[in-house]
Amino acid sequence: MLRLIVIAVLILFGSACSRSEIAYQNADSLLQYYAWKTVRTSAAQRDQWQSVLQTTLRYHREHELPVVIAYLDLAARIIRETDGSVGAACLVDGGLLIYQRHARLAVDLAVPLLMELDVDQVERLARHMTQRQKDAVKRYQDPDPQRRKDARQERITDRIEQWTGKLNNGQRAYINDALQHIPDLTASWLAYRAQQTNTMLTMLQTGAKAEALSTYLNDWWVHRDGTSTETWQHWRVARNEFVQLMDTLAATLTDRQRRTLETRLAALREDLESFISDTPQPVKLQLVPACAFSLP
C-alpha cells in the first residue's frame, strides 16, 4: 500500500508536467484502480472507501498542494541564488519534509481500506507484495557488480536530465566519480521493506486494531522506524555526499540547462496551481535547518 504515497508524491517529483497533471487530475481513479488490482476490492469496499478518498484528496488540495507549490517557488529562488550556502541541502531536506507529510496522508488513506480486507484479500496482498519484492530485487540487484554500478549511474543521471536536459560528458563523468563516495543503500532498503511488509501482513492476519495498524504504518512510512543503526549511518553519508554532488553539479550547468530547469519547474508549478482549492489555507512550512533562510 506504500504505492499510495508514490502516486501522491508524483505530483511533486514528476518531471513531465503533463504526466503530473494527469496523475493529479485522475488521482481518485488511479487509487481506486490500484486498490482493485492489488486486492480485488469489492464494489461495497470501494464505495465505503470513496468518502475517505475524497476527504483525503480535498485535504491535499487545501493544505498540501499549496506546500508543494511553495517548495517549487523555493527551488526556483535557490536556482537564482548566488550564495553558495543555499542549495541542494535545503532542497533535499525540504523534499524529505514534504514526503513525510504525504506519507501521513497515505496512512490515513490506507488504514480504513486495509481494515476491511478479508482473509482471501490479505493473502492476495501478501502475494502481490512478494512479487513486488522479487521484481525490485531483479531490477536493482543485478548479481554482476559492474552492471549494477552502471545501472545505478544511469538511473541517477536520467533523473537529473529529466529536469536539466541532456548533460555533457564532463558532467556525466563527475556524477560517475561522485557516486563512488555515495553508499548504495538498495540492498538494505529492500531488506527493510521486506521486514516491515511481513510485520504488516502478520498484523492483518491476526486481526490487529485500526489504531495499532495506524501507529505501525506511521512509524514505518513516515519515520522509518526499524531501520538499523548501520543503515542510518550510511543514509547520512549518502545524504551529505548527494548534497555535495548536486551543489557541485549546479555550478556546472550551462545557460541552456539552467533555462530548461527553470522552465520545467515553472510549468509544473503552473499545472499544479490550477488544482488548488478556491479557498486554500495559508501556507506555513516548517523551518528546514539546512536552508539559509526561512521557508515561506
Question: Does pLDDT of 190 surpass 90?
Answer: yes
C-alpha cell at 273: 496551481
Assess if residue 100 is contained within a domain.
Answer: yes
Q: Are 92 and 239 in contact (CB under 8 A)?
A: yes
User: Residue 3's pLDDT band (boundaries 50, 70, 90)?
Assistant: very low
Which has more confidence, 91 or 280?
91
Query: Considering Cα of 61, then 66, then 67, then 71, what sign does the dihedral take?
Result: positive
Q: Are 256 and 264 in contact (CB under 8 A)?
A: no
C-alpha cell at 6: 508514490
Which of 42-51, 160-169, 250-259, 286-295 is predicted least confidently?
286-295
Q: Are 45 and 105 in contact (CB under 8 A)?
A: no
Tally of domains in the chain: 1
Q: Quick one: pLDDT at residue 200?
A: 96
Q: Quick one: pLDDT at residue 98?
A: 86
Assess if residue 295 is contained within a domain.
Answer: no
Range 128-155 average pLDDT: 94
Assess if residue 259 is contained within a domain.
Answer: yes
Q: Quick one: pLDDT at residue 2?
A: 40
The rounded percent of the chain whose pLDDT value lies above 70 is 82
Give the distance between the most distant pair of CA atoms in the chain.
58
> Average pLDDT over the chain, rounded to whole?
84
Assess if residue 258 is contained within a domain.
Answer: yes
In degrees and rounded to multiples of 5, residue 237 shows phi and psi of -65, -45
Task: Give how far the C-alpha of residue 127 lies from the chain's centroid of Cα atoms, to the nearest Å.
Answer: 24
Assess if residue 247 is contained within a domain.
Answer: yes
Range 21-41 average pLDDT: 74
Cα 104 to Cα 95: distance, rounded to the nearest angstrom: 14
Cα 108 to Cα 110: distance, rounded to the nearest angstrom: 6
Range 90-97 average pLDDT: 86
Range 236-247 average pLDDT: 92
Range 119-127 average pLDDT: 95
Q: Quick one: pLDDT at residue 19?
A: 52
Range 16-36 average pLDDT: 65
**pTM for this model (two decimals):** 0.86
Domain of residue 189, residue span: 3-273
Which has more confidence, 58 or 29?
58
